[in-house]
Amino acid sequence: MEAPTRPLIIINKMAARARRAWPVIQATLAESGVQYDTCQPARAGDTGKETRAALRAGYHTVATVGGDGTLSEAASGFFESCEESRDGRPPRAINERAALAVLPAGTGDDFARGLVGKREPLEKWIGRFVAHCRKEKIEDDKNPAIRAVDVLYAMSDDGARRFICLNAATLGIGAEVAARVAAQGRSLRRLSGEARFALAAVAALAAWRERRVHVRVDGGELIECATNLIAIVNGPFSGGGMNFSPTAETTDGQLDVVTACGISRLEILRELTRIHRGGQLANLKVRVVRGARVRVEAVNSQHDALGIEADGDVRGATPIEFRVMPRALRVVL
């Protein structure tokens, strides 16, 4: 059977923002004469399977209409399923020349924001996608048409659970915030991503207690501290525009490990007011260590295990290990 030459667009119709964005995308693609196939996964979690099947069927470009969760699922589908990989090694790419296109229509759209340094309108991303489909170069864009980015491979619950993380993961209160955002009702879902994450963070903070953890980066110094939050960062933005590590880059083969140790609730509230511009790094209790591999575990693993969220989805608990897969995914820009 001949391999398809059209891109496949995966639409998260379960998300209201994606449902509103799709007619706009559809109209622009029709005007531009771009031909494509579509897929609408029936259940949450199916995007990765659909992406994997599409690449094995010969598609070379897969685009997503949705938020960071949908994008992360699609990114994982560019690789073998973690169940297929052996001995805990990172899964192999299905097609190293295939590319992921971003059509952001989510709450935070943090990965897209990190790629270009700011939140851009959907129309700009549609233009990039059209240019890619036509194999044109966007003259006013300094970025190349394709960028190879790092992804993170993680093993949580002491290796029992394995997954791909595209943008960022948080441990501790970050996982509580992600769960609260996911549970927000219709009235709160009308707010901006930044407002929704801030409200969830304040509520989670009121119920949180510090946990003592061990953090080791690249087998180096063992960091032990009582913490509210640890962030494992690939791209600079997460949590609806929070800038955990302004120097984070998705192309440097490094992850940024951000630890906030011994910080009171009052201090955290203060840092929430300046985290969108990276101002929390002025606090000496906030530390950033960079490396290619990190392991985090609770000192009292039985009672103080930290929950984990990655790209907005809850992903088990500590102990966990992350490692970088350098420039493993091609992204359309």
Residues 188 and 204 in one domain: yes
Q: Residue 266 in contact with residue 299, Cβ under 8 Å? A: no
Q: What confidence score (pLDDT) does residue 143 get?
A: 46
In a domain, 332, yes or no: no
- The answer as to whether 3 is a domain residue is no
Based on the fold, state whether residues 183 and 206 are members of the same structural domain.
yes
Is residue 218 located within the same domain as residue 277? Answer: yes
Q: How far is CA 68 from CA 173, 216, 323, in A?
A: 19, 28, 20
> What is d(CA 94, CA 79) in angstroms, rounded to the nearest whole number?
5
CATH number, domain of 279, equals: 2.60.200.40
- Look at residue 1 and tell me whether its pLDDT is greater than 60: no
Question: Tokens representing 240?
Answer: 């609806």
Q: Does any domain span residue 71? A: yes
Q: Which of residues 135, 150, 165 is at a domain's end?
A: 150
% of the chain exceeding 90 in pLDDT: 55
Q: How do 99-104 and 320-332 pair as beta strands? A: parallel
Q: Are residues 132 and 182 in the same domain?
A: no
Q: How confident is the model at residue 203 (pLDDT cuts 50, 70, 90)?
A: low
**pLDDT, averaged across the chain:** 87
Question: Domain for residue 214, yes or no?
Answer: yes
Tally of structural domains, the chain: 2
Domain extent for 88: 8-150
Report how far Cα 217 is from the mean position of its chain's Cα atoms: 21
Q: Is the pLDDT of residue 183 over 80?
A: no
Q: Is the pLDDT of residue 4 over 90?
A: no
Residue 76 has pLDDT above 50, yes or no: yes
Examine the domain organization and report whether 105 and 140 are in the same domain. Answer: yes
Q: Do 144 and 159 sit in the same domain of this protein?
A: no
Residue 333 within any structural domain of the chain: no
- 180 in the same domain as 99: no
Q: Looking at residue 260, what is its pLDDT? A: 85
pLDDT of residue 207: 62
pLDDT at 328 (0 to 100): 98
Residue 114 pLDDT level (bands cut at 50, 70, 90): very high
Choose the final residue of a domain: 122, 150, 178: 150
Which pTM does this prediction carry?
Answer: 0.87
Residue 266 resides in a domain? yes
pLDDT band with cut points at 50, 70 and 90 for residue 199? confident
User: Is the pLDDT confidence value at 153 over 50?
Assistant: yes
Strand positions, DSSP E, 34-174 = 37-39, 61-66, 99-104, 146-156, 161-165, 168-172
Please say if the pLDDT value at position 3 is more than 70.
no
Name the residue with higher pLDDT: 310 or 274: 310
Instruction: Specify the CATH number for the domain of residue 74.
Output: 3.40.50.10330
Q: Domain boundary residue among 116, 134, 150? A: 150
| Residue 221: pLDDT band with limits 50, 70, 90 | confident
Indicate if 129 and 155 belong to the same structural domain.
no
**Predicted confidence (pLDDT) at residue 48 exceeds the cutoff of 70:** yes
Region of poorest pLDDT, from 70-74, 101-105, 168-172, 251-255 = 168-172
Residues 75 and 209 in one domain: no
Q: What pLDDT, in 10s, does the model give residues 122-134?
A: 999 999 999 999 9
pLDDT at 141: 46
Overall residue count recorded for the chain in this entry: 333
Same-domain pairing of 208 and 131 = no
Instruction: Label residues 299-329 b or e (16+ Cβ within 10 Å = b).
Output: eeeeebbbbbbbbbbebbbbbbbbbbbeebb
pLDDT value for 91: 93
Is 141 domain-assigned? yes
User: Do 217 and 301 fall within a single domain?
Assistant: yes
What is the mean predicted confidence (pLDDT) over 294-301? 89
pLDDT at 267: 79
Is residue 19 located within the same domain as residue 89? yes
| pLDDT over 70 percentage in the chain | 86
